[in-house]
A and B are shown apart, each in its own frame.
Chain A
């Protein structure tokens, strides 16, 4: 049985179609990554799965049942924008959230005891939430999501705002939960995390499903048309070369989408500058995301070259 089944789900707000005829199956025990640009319909989809919003049409099943009171207790939900009661202690918040899921204080305390060590929150449980750092609050919020030992965990941007140490702790916790059989859906803008953690990836864009499958399958669909290039001249060396469709500049190196003979490209580059790296690779999830979600050049902001991060150069 699938953890989640969506069939032709549509949700409209006024004239805006937030989710359009979405069909999706999330297998039990998997980690499923929801990706998509801001406003593409991720949160609306998640809220419909959580029964916080009712779809205009289509059907949703969670563990074979309609979402509602019956499945609330087996689903843990970490919304994108976090909130804890500032005047309560972390322990009081966890107990309260556990009680709302129908768990007793003892049951909640047992779960909390399991995660105190791995998430390093022991010293902070009896402190008021308002005294906690952002990272610590997020870890408490993460524990609040799993205090009811959910069969399905829905995490909206679980790593945002966490430093690498805390992000690693939460990542390990997510993997441990999957190992125990929990089905996990998480939405993220961090493509690297999605690549590493997810068994399957689903991308929604303008309310419609545009990607759904394993990372390998998605990459195979986009072919081996990406070449990672590191040269002495940087992105300037790529200017004007035939066959280059797009360049994503990561500062130290550039990922080039290329249609044509790669040996010709290598030759052309070698003629211009010293080539330090030339590697034919699969497109990264980040590349694929940008290919789908980036507005056409005529609508795009002026290209920037040499900047670190995800800034791209269209040619």
Chain B
């Protein structure tokens, strides 16, 4: 054990002192923040141009409402985490910035001539687009086939037509109520929405009282489970492939022979796996600490679920043992990186399966498919963790079964890796194929 610890310590020190690791730790959050920042910046930058929007209001009643809405200040900003936001607020359609409404009259002109002229202006970039409101839209017996037509070259821009749709239809509704002599303030009051709070189930406490059900945070349902799963993936990916390279380097520089003269292949493998595990746990704890700090500092206490931490560590260790064994075996079996890369592809596929399956599990965590894939040992560490982070958590028997299967698989992988290590480390030349690898394992 002491020898394995010496190997683990050397591997740990070697990995955490690499520029790759230090830069990698900083790079991931920087990239996440930078990508959000860039998206926001790009959106703002894209909105700085003045959107000149021509309005042909053939009702003569809606233009003023559009002009008023265009001149109105920005609505209250809401986010999916705002617990006080009403459905209407959450459904808010953001007003495009820098809107300039250009009224266009068709009096005495042919509509086609007007639309042709406006189309030319759009092509010449002097107009962003134009909207034609037909004269009969306000009438409550307006035909189903009547449309308000919005013309533009920027068909991929959904902000302007969404906003126009909302503003124009609100005014049409208001006008129809008015025509029907219905009190608008009354309809506003009557149609006021109430927030729907999603809660966990109520339970009876030991003293017989009913414990109030806690409200489930909107982010809890996807951000926390996905975040934890991706963090586990990141922790494995930042350490196991590095070890593969290290083993190939040791093999190519014949250090392996010196090491095997001092320790057994099993001790060496155990040390290396321990090294990977230590680095992965350290990495994950750094990010978790950062996430918890972020949650606390932004007042989102509900996002912090410390009871998941032991599960995270257990599943992280399982993932490290399984994928670490695979990567170390590949390193031991190959004599150059090219061979190793081709052998890595199947294992990368197994690593990516949970990422592809995550959206399905998020939408239906207790479906048969979700249960089955989360019990596949190579996917369990990621997907069972994902399910554990969701509400409601999976039944105890599923968690227990997944742990047994994963731990068993991890032990099997470590054993097989030990066999491959014993033979592969001293082999040079062509990488073995699958039957040869199986022969090494059975030897």
Residue in contact with B254 in the complex, picked from A50, A73, A79, A97, CB distance below 8 Å: A79
Cα A84 to Cα B259 in complex, Å, equals: 10
B14 at the interface (CB under 8 A from A): yes
Task: Please name all residues of chain A whose beta carbon is closer than 8 Å to the beta carbon of B411 when the two chains form the complex.
Answer: none
Given the contacts A82-B254, A83-B255, A87-B14, A52 and B262 also touching, CB distance less than 8 Å: no
Task: Please name all residues of chain A whose beta carbon is closer than 8 Å to the beta carbon of B157 when the two chains form the complex.
Answer: none
Task: Please name all residues of chain A whose beta carbon is closer than 8 Å to the beta carbon of B258 when the two chains form the complex.
Answer: 77, 79, 83, 97, 144
B132 at the interface (CB under 8 A from A): no
Evaluate contact between A99 and B6: CB separation under 8 angstroms.
yes
Cα A108 to Cα B312 in complex, Å, equals: 39
Evaluate contact between A101 and B262: CB separation under 8 angstroms.
yes
Beta-carbon nearest neighbor of A154 in chain B: B261
Cα A75 to Cα B250 in complex, Å, equals: 21
Evaluate contact between A100 and B3: CB separation under 8 angstroms.
yes
Residue in contact with B253 in the complex, picked from A50, A83, A96, CB distance below 8 Å: A83
Task: Tell me the smallest distance from the CB of B81 to a CB of chain A, in Å.
Answer: 45
Evaluate contact between B257 and A96: CB separation under 8 angstroms.
no
Evaluate contact between B263 and A53: CB separation under 8 angstroms.
no
Given the contacts A75-B261, A83-B258, A100 and B7 also touching, CB distance less than 8 Å: yes
Cα A102 to Cα B263 in complex, Å, equals: 10
Cα A81 to Cα B6 in complex, Å, equals: 24
- In chain B, positions 210-268 with a C-beta closer than 8 Å to chain A are 250, 253-264
Evaluate contact between B261 and A77: CB separation under 8 angstroms.
yes
Beta-carbon nearest neighbor of B423 in chain A: A53
Task: Please name all residues of chain A whose beta carbon is closer than 8 Å to the beta carbon of B254 when the two chains form the complex.
Answer: 79, 81-83
Task: Tell me the smallest distance from the CB of B430 to a CB of chain A, in Å.
Answer: 14
Evaluate contact between A52 and B263: CB separation under 8 angstroms.
no
B364 at the interface (CB under 8 A from A): no
Beta-carbon nearest neighbor of B7 in chain A: A100
A228 at the interface (CB under 8 A from B): no
A72 at the interface (CB under 8 A from B): yes
For the complex, would chain B's binding face be called helix, strand, loop or mixed by DSSP majority? helix
One digit per residue, 1 when the CB lies within 8 angstroms of any chain A CB and 0 when it does not, for chain B 156-187 equals 00000000000000000000000000000000
A69 at the interface (CB under 8 A from B): yes
Cα A105 to Cα B256 in complex, Å, equals: 22
Evaluate contact between B2 and A52: CB separation under 8 angstroms.
no
Evaluate contact between A47 and B250: CB separation under 8 angstroms.
no
B10 at the interface (CB under 8 A from A): yes
Task: Please name all residues of chain B whose beta carbon is closer than 8 Å to the beta carbon of A222 when the two chains form the complex.
Answer: none
Given the contacts A47-B426, A53-B426, A87-B14, A100 and B262 also touching, CB distance less than 8 Å: yes
For the complex, would chain A's binding face be called helix, strand, loop or mixed by DSSP majority? loop
One digit per residue, 1 when the CB lies within 8 angstroms of any chain B CB and 0 when it does not, for chain A 155-194 equals 0000000000000000000000000000000000000000
A310 at the interface (CB under 8 A from B): no
Task: Tell me the smallest distance from the CB of B351 to a CB of chain A, in Å.
Answer: 27
Evaluate contact between B263 and A83: CB separation under 8 angstroms.
no
Task: Please name all residues of chain A whose beta carbon is closer than 8 Å to the beta carbon of B426 when the two chains form the complex.
Answer: 47, 52-53
Residue in contact with A52 in the complex, picked from B3, B250, B257, CB distance below 8 Å: B257
Task: Please name all residues of chain A whose beta carbon is closer than 8 Å to the beta carbon of B259 when the two chains form the complex.
Answer: 100
Task: Tell me the smallest distance from the CB of B13 to a CB of chain A, in Å.
Answer: 9
Task: Please name all residues of chain B whose beta carbon is closer than 8 Å to the beta carbon of A82 when the two chains form the complex.
Answer: 254
Task: Please name all residues of chain B whose beta carbon is closer than 8 Å to the beta carbon of A144 when the two chains form the complex.
Answer: 258
Evaluate contact between B260 and A96: CB separation under 8 angstroms.
no
Cα A79 to Cα B426 in complex, Å, equals: 12
Task: Please name all residues of chain A whose beta carbon is closer than 8 Å to the beta carbon of B260 when the two chains form the complex.
Answer: 50, 52
Evaluate contact between B255 and A85: CB separation under 8 angstroms.
yes
Cα A87 to Cα B16 in complex, Å, equals: 13
Task: Please name all residues of chain A whose beta carbon is closer than 8 Å to the beta carbon of B257 when the two chains form the complex.
Answer: 52, 77, 79, 81, 83
Given the contacts A82-B254, A99-B6, A100-B3, A72 and B261 also touching, CB distance less than 8 Å: yes
- In chain A, positions 66-121 with a C-beta closer than 8 Å to chain B are 69, 72-73, 75, 77, 79, 81-88, 96-97, 99-102
Cα A82 to Cα B252 in complex, Å, equals: 10
Task: Please name all residues of chain A whose beta carbon is closer than 8 Å to the beta carbon of B262 when the two chains form the complex.
Answer: 72-73, 97, 100-101
Cα A85 to Cα B6 in complex, Å, equals: 15
Evaluate contact between B6 and A100: CB separation under 8 angstroms.
yes
- In chain B, positions 1-58 with a C-beta closer than 8 Å to chain A are 2-3, 6-7, 10, 14, 17
Cα A101 to Cα B255 in complex, Å, equals: 15
Residue in contact with A83 in the complex, picked from B2, B14, B250, CB distance below 8 Å: B250
- In chain A, positions 249-282 with a C-beta closer than 8 Å to chain B are none
Beta-carbon nearest neighbor of A141 in chain B: B258
Task: Please name all residues of chain A whose beta carbon is closer than 8 Å to the beta carbon of B264 when the two chains form the complex.
Answer: 69
- Output the residue of B14, B260, B262, B264 with the most chain A CB within 10 A: B262
Cα A50 to Cα B265 in complex, Å, equals: 13
Cα A86 to Cα B262 in complex, Å, equals: 19
Evaluate contact between A100 and B14: CB separation under 8 angstroms.
no
Task: Tell me the smallest distance from the CB of A181 to a CB of chain B, in Å.
Answer: 21
Cα A52 to Cα B426 in complex, Å, equals: 8
Cα A53 to Cα B6 in complex, Å, equals: 24
Evaluate contact between B3 and A102: CB separation under 8 angstroms.
yes
Evaluate contact between B6 and A50: CB separation under 8 angstroms.
no
Cα A72 to Cα B267 in complex, Å, equals: 13
Cα A77 to Cα B426 in complex, Å, equals: 15
Extra pairs beyond A73-B262, A75-B261 (12, CB < 8 Å):
A52-B260, A72-B262, A77-B258, A77-B261, A83-B250, A83-B256, A83-B258, A84-B253, A85-B14, A87-B14, A88-B14, A99-B6
Q: 6 tightest A-B contacts by CB?
A: A83-B253, A83-B255, A100-B262, A77-B261, A99-B6, A81-B254
Q: Which residues of A contact B (CB under 8 A)?
A: 47, 50, 52-53, 69, 72-73, 75, 77, 79, 81-88, 96-97, 99-102, 144
Q: Which residues of B contact A (CB under 8 A)?
A: 2-3, 6-7, 10, 14, 17, 250, 253-264, 426
The contact sample of 20 A-B pairs, CB cut-off 8 A, is: A47-B426, A50-B261, A52-B257, A53-B426, A73-B262, A77-B261, A79-B257, A83-B253, A83-B254, A83-B255, A84-B253, A84-B255, A86-B253, A87-B14, A96-B10, A100-B6, A100-B262, A101-B262, A102-B2, A102-B3
